[in-house]
Structure 1
Amino acid sequence: MFLHADHSGCERRSNLELEGPFAGFDTASTLRPFVVAQLGQSLDGRIATLTGHSKYINRSAALDHLHRLRAHVDAVVVGVGTVIADDPLLTVRRVPGRSPARVVIDAGGRLPPDAKCLVDDGVRRIVLRAEPQAVPDGVEQLLVKRLSPTALSPHSIVETLFDAGLKRILIEGGARTVSIFLEHRAVDRLHVLVAPMIIGSGVPGIELPPISVVDDALRPVTRVHQLPDGDVLFDCDLRLAASEDNADAAA
């Protein structure tokens, strides 16, 4: 499904046509979590320069899409590194909709107590840790299992949030967090927003353990959407890909 930016009424049609990437979000089973991850990058897979500068690789329509993603889920999840580097609000501002619960993965207890995502605006604010530590008033702390000394288990995170009533979960960043969730097959849908830009060096996006043969690569069922201002959205259905892999293995 492609959008055409040179037609009249483009913005109205774009909003309608871009509902495609959200198909299944609202009807996802309430018996298990539904996890979507998103990543914005350049054509050569960079999310920032070597100095960490990233504003803005993706353009306005991609930012609108990110906020629309937030409005479709119950919780938006980021790693503490993203909070320290960018201090994001994690609210819905660019499109109509409600803001989801804001969740920070903080395996090492590094979360600044004055982070903007912890501001009390009536939305649930949650910190995920392996051991309890102090949190600001009104902020929930949920304990999850460790994956390693520096990381928490993606599956434990998803299960804990689901048990807390958060059924649809957005893993927004950063790239390391998204990569860990992908590595451990804890993502149902992946939205990759690609800007027509070649940086040539810098911080890579998705990084997974090395494979020996291409046959072992992830091959998600993917739909492509052209955004009005030039960025391209790849909507990857990892749950469907996993089902097909299992069927092939059983054949």
Structure 2
Amino acid sequence: MMQRLIPNGGVMPDSMVRTNRLSPDADVIPDATWQRLLAGQSLDDDKPMASELASSLAPLATTASWVVAQLGQSLDGRIATQSGHSHYINGRASLVHLHRLRGLADAVVIGAGTAEADDPQLTVRHVSGVHPTRVVLDPRGRVPMDRQLFRTSVAPTLHVVGPDASLTDPPAGVERCVLPLNDRGQFAPCDVIELLGTHQLHRILVEGGGVTVSQFIEAGVVDRLHLLVAPLLIGSGRPGLQMTPIETLDTALRPALRTFRCGEDTLFDVLLRPATFGG
């Protein structure tokens, strides 16, 4: 059994120590287990655990309020090629895992670049569950209104813009919200979370892209990061996390984590704020 050190000389709790290597079909969480997760029921009494991968989701199912960030990347930390092509770095099992995260969330958040480039639906399609509220962070109002997020009414959508964005009225089913911008022309992540709280959205999935995820992590508001790493080397392209440079490694984040097999990919379940989950 591996033992991992965490900041201040401590040792990772037993529940966070295991490095899990599972069979190729480990991404298939039995439906009964998934329904228990959706119902917010603990899996502690599962002997053995119906699926080890389910234990990465159990803390989310049993906690009323959280912010989780998700990124899919290559071994060398790329989320897309230089031209922006990213379909599909990760395999099907990781896509299913992402949809499970959506199924447990009240809201799923993306930045303007992801909305423009990927034109995602942000719905739950590969697993059972309720579609989360879709949130587009668009400080300058640059995202075209023909994106699927705005055209489809399968789930509510919040279009968050800056005070100076000049826009036409949003389509039916889209609520436009205005937030102030910081000196970099971006929204403060804490303001976004507060806004979502006023809409009774307390379980928040920050899905992308890399810049948006990095901003939320650097602001210290992300409880967990689910980092899905595919076994390929791209060699160049768009990096995943892009935070303020540090001078020395003693200021680097050294969070507790677990790893899980997710099809051919590896899931890093990174605990950034242990207090949220009673750690």
TM-score (norm 1): 0.88
1:209 to 241, 244, 259: 244
Contact 1:219 1:241 in 2 (8 A): no
Contact 2:53 2:261 in 1 (8 A): no
Matches of residues 197-236 of structure 1 in structure 2 within 5 Å? Answer: 197-227=232-262, 229-236=263-270
SS in 2 for 1:146: coil
Say which of 170, 176, 184 aligns to 1:141.
Answer: 176
The CA deviation at 1:120 is 3.9
| 1:135, distance to aligned residue in structure 2 (A) | 1.9
Aligned residues of 1:221 and 1:241 also touching (Cα < 8 A): no
- For the residues of structure 1 that align with 2:22 and 2:147, how far apart are their CA atoms? 37
CA contact (8 A) 2:123 2:155 kept: no
Q: In structure 1, how many angstroms separate the alpha carbons of the residues matched to 2:276 and 2:129?
A: 31
After superposition, the C-alpha distances for 1:37-90 in whole angstroms (9 at most, x for unaligned) are 000000000111111111111011011111111001000110111111111111
Moved more, 70-79 or 135-144: 135-144
Work out whether residues 35 and 168 of structure 1, in 8 Å CA contact, stay in contact via their aligned partners in 2. Answer: yes
- In structure 1, the partner of 2:118 is 86
- 8 A Cα contact 2:110 2:207, kept in partner: yes
Partner in structure 1 of residue 12 of structure 2: none
Tell me the residue number matched to 2:103: 71
RMSD of aligned C-alpha atoms?
Answer: 2.2
Task: Please say if residues 220 and 241 of structure 1, whose CA atoms lie closer than 8 Å, have aligned partners that are also in contact.
Answer: no
**Residue of structure 1 in register with 2:22 after alignment:** 3
Q: CA deviation at 1:95?
A: 1.2
Aligned match of 1:172: 207
Distance in 1 (alpha carbons) for counterparts of 2:171 and 2:183: 26
C-alpha displacement of 1:126: 0.5
For 1:38 and 1:22, the matched residues in 2 are separated by: 13
Unaligned runs of 5+ in 1: 244-251
* Paired AA for residue 234 in structure 2: I
SS at match of 2:71: strand
**What per-residue deviation string (whole Å, max 9, x for no partner) do you get for residues 141-183 of structure 1?**
2222312353111110011101210010000011110011111
3-state secondary structure, aligned to 2:273: helix
Q: How many residues align?
A: 237
> In 2, distance between residues paired with 1:98 and 1:181?
25
Q: Distance in 1 between matches of 2:133 and 2:107?
A: 4
* Aligned-partner Cα distance in 1 for 2:131–2:276: 30
Unaligned runs of 5+ in 2: 1-19, 35-50
1:175 touches 1:206 (CA, 8 Å); kept in 2?
A: yes
Which residue of structure 1 lines up, in the alignment, with residue 127 of structure 2? 95
* Cα distance in 2 for residues equivalent to 1:140 and 1:242: 30
Matches within 5 A, 1:29-44: 29=64, 33-44=65-76
Which position in structure 1 is the counterpart of 2:274?
240
Distance 2:87 2:190 in 1: 31
TM-score normalised over the length of structure 2: 0.79
